[in-house]
A and B are shown apart, each in its own frame.
Chain A
Amino acid sequence: MKRKILFALSSVLILLSFYMVLVFVPTEIDMGIVQRIFYYHVPLAWIAFLAFFVVFTGSIIYLAKRSTKWDNIASASAEIGLVFISLMLITGSIWAKPAWGVWWIWEPRLTTSLVLWFIYVAYFIVRGYVSGEERKARFGAVVGIIGFLNVPLVFLSVTLWRTQHPPLTIFSGGLEPPMLATLLVCLVAFNFLYFYLLSERSMMKNDERMLSQIKETMARRNA
């Protein structure tokens, strides 16, 4: 029931965001029409960081309590976070091309996200190369904790590194009310989508685990 409400809310808000981003919002004067990518790019980044924060807390709780439920939540959130951060990097790149003439800029937030992308890819590589459900969860939790602790340091070091270069102006003026409204709609829509996907995916992981346990006991009984 809860999931159905989340699904309905995110669907409605996503449809509303289509209208607001493509039609309703006024075009920014300096940046032109590509600036509209911003309304999706920023929420994507926000959700990715939220997702990795959930991985971090889920991992800590898993190591403290050893309940598979929390590993399911953490690994589901890592998966969703990876999808969102990939999209954030790609949209950032598509935006950078017309705005600054290059596909990639070593902007602190983008660079931090790129490093995070590698860390959470490593999260799944480690899980893939380990045998045993319990050990997968334990090693995953360690990567989830260490990886997230690193975020402020990566951001700080990249920011210091890039200060030798001229800062990028994303906006000449502030956000006008219709722009802010559009951003908020997208933000809320993605939040609902994230929590919908998280509950769906972590429950699935739980079912997968139960299913494989049942299969094992059946196989043992038949043998």
Chain B
Amino acid sequence: MKELRDAFTIASKDVLTEIRTREVLSSVVIFAVLVIIIFNFAFGSSEQAAGLVAPGILWVTFAFTGILSLNRSFILEKEEDCIEGLMVAPLSREAVYLGKFFGNVFFIILIQLIVIPIFSLLFNISFFNLELLLITILATLGFASVGTLFAAMAVNTRARELVLPILFFPVITPVIIAAVNASAQVLDGQSFGAIAQWLGVIGAFDVIFIVASYLIFSFIIEE
């Protein structure tokens, strides 16, 4: 219980820092919109093309923006030497992981909530339904689970901006495949049963990697 409380303290600290500095959110949202616009230039925005490529574009955008906000979550700590503070604080390493994980989930979902309406507007597709919300939340949990782990690792390497995507993208392939296909089926107007198998894949990914990352995180920041 104490661990969860500590985790929420860390997560709220990150949220508070973000509210005060507004360093990440604004630039990441701008970046996301830019990605969408560039895809729009590349594929055109006819109704036919939009239906075909929209789910793919949406998830590529989310993966890119996910990388950016994940990277920031530890770079800030490292640059200001706050990570030492976290290490000497009377917290378990697992609480640090959970805190960072919650913070990342919060930020990524927040960014998605801003980006999805803009996306719907530009592609002229309605993205507001319960199924899509469920897919997005489950996939975000998956992104943040390994993402938090890898970001902590990447920040301790010499090429941190490069290392995170190289690690992150191959590992999240199951989530990307499942999320894109499930979103496509939702947009296609298919029933909940059709996307259940994809939700199962993402759910299994979430469970496996939240548990694995939680257990393994302490080995990354031990010095």
A160 to B158, CA, bound (A): 38
A to B contact number (C-beta, < 8 Å)? 88
> When chains A and B are docked, how far (Å) is the Cα of A129 from the Cα of B157?
5
Q: Please judge, given known A-B contacts A135-B223, A141-B219, whether A154 and B173 are in contact too, CB under 8 Å.
A: yes
Q: Which residues of A contact B162 (CB under 8 A)?
A: 129
State how many residues of chain A have any CB contact under 8 Å with chain B.
Answer: 29
B46 to chain A minimum Cβ distance, whole angstroms, is: 24
A121, closest chain B residue (CB): B166
Is residue A73 within 8 Å, beta carbon to beta carbon, of the partner chain? Answer: no
Instruction: List chain B residues, Cβ under 8 A from A129.
Output: 157-159, 162-163
Taken residue by residue from 120 to 161, chain A's Cβ proximity to chain B (1 for < 8 Å, 0 otherwise) reads as: 011001100111000100110111011101100110111011
Cβ-neighbour of B157 out of A130, A138, A150, A154 (below 8 A) = A130
Look across to chain A and name the residue whose beta carbon is closest to the beta carbon of B158: A129
The CA-CA distance from A141 to B213 in the complex, in Å, is: 13
The docked-state distance in angstroms from the alpha carbon of A11 to that of B42 is 54
A103 at the interface (CB under 8 A from B): no
| Contact B204–A146 (Cβ < 8 Å) | no
Residue of B nearest to A143 (CB): B167
The reply to whether B170 and A122 form a contact with Cβ atoms under 8 Å apart is: yes
**Complex interface bits, B171-197 against A, C-beta within 8 A gives 1, otherwise 0:** 101100110010000000000000001
Q: Looking at the assembled complex, report how far the CB atom of B72 sits from the nearest CB atom of chain A, in whole angstroms.
A: 19
A41–B100 alpha-carbon span in the complex (Å): 43
Which of chain B's residues have a CB closer than 8 A to the CB of A142? 149, 153, 216, 219-220
Q: Are A146's CB and B209's CB within 8 A?
A: yes
Against A, the Cβ 8 Å flags (1 = close, 0 = not) of B203-223 are 011001100110010011011
Give chain A's interface secondary structure class.
Answer: helix
Partner of A138, one of B159, B213, B219: B219
Contact among B149, B163, B167, B201 for A157, CB-based, below 8 A: B201
Q: Judging by beta carbons under 8 Å apart, are A160 and B197 in contact?
A: yes
- Asked whether A150 lies within 8 Å of B153 as measured between CB atoms, the reply is no
B212 A146 Cβ-Cβ under 8 A: yes
With A126-B153, A129-B163 as contacts: A157 and B177 at CB distance below 8 Å: yes
Q: Are B166 and A122 in contact (CB under 8 A)?
A: yes
We find that the number of chain B residues with CB closer than 8 angstroms to chain A is: 33
A94 CB–B CB distance under 8 Å: no
Which of A129, A157, A160 has the most chain B CB atoms inside 10 A of its CB? A157
Question: Is the CB of A118 closer than 8 A to any CB of chain B?
Answer: yes
Interchain CB contact under 8 A, B153 and A154: no
Q: Measured between alpha carbons, how far is A35 from B201 in the docked complex, in Å?
A: 34
- Across the interface, do A160 and B205 meet the contact criterion of CB distance under 8 Å? no
B222 to chain A, nearest CB (A): 8
**B102 on the interface (CB 8 Å rule)?**
no
Q: Does B101 contact A (CB under 8 A)?
A: no
Q: Which of A63, A122, A131, A153 contacts B158 (CB 8 A)?
A: A131
Which residues of chain A are near B220, meaning CB under 8 Å? 138-139, 142
Chain A residue at smallest Cβ distance from B223: A135
Q: Which residues of A contact B198 (CB under 8 A)?
A: 160
> Which residue of B is nearest A129, CB measured?
B157
Q: Is B156 an interface position by the 8 A CB rule?
A: yes
Nearest chain A CB to B52 CB, angstrom units: 14
Chain A residues within an 8 Å CB radius of B222: 138
Closest Cβ of chain A to B20, distance in Å, is: 32
Shortest beta-carbon distance from B93 to chain A in Å = 13
Cβ distance A140 to chain B, nearest Cβ, rounded Å: 10
List the 7 closest pairs (A to B, CB-CB), nearest first.
A118-B170, A129-B157, A157-B174, A153-B174, A157-B177, A129-B158, A119-B170
Point out residues on A near B: beta carbons under 8 Å: 63, 115, 118-119, 121-122, 125-126, 129-131, 135, 138-139, 141-143, 145-147, 149-150, 153-154, 156-158, 160-161
14 further A-B pairs in the complex, CB-CB below 8 A; given A122-B170, A142-B216: A118-B166, A118-B169, A129-B159, A130-B158, A143-B153, A146-B216, A149-B208, A154-B174, A158-B177, A160-B177, A160-B178, A160-B181, A160-B201, A161-B181
- Show 12 A/B contacts (Cβ-Cβ < 8 Å), sorted by A: A115-B170, A115-B173, A118-B169, A129-B162, A131-B158, A142-B220, A145-B212, A153-B201, A153-B208, A156-B174, A160-B198, A161-B181
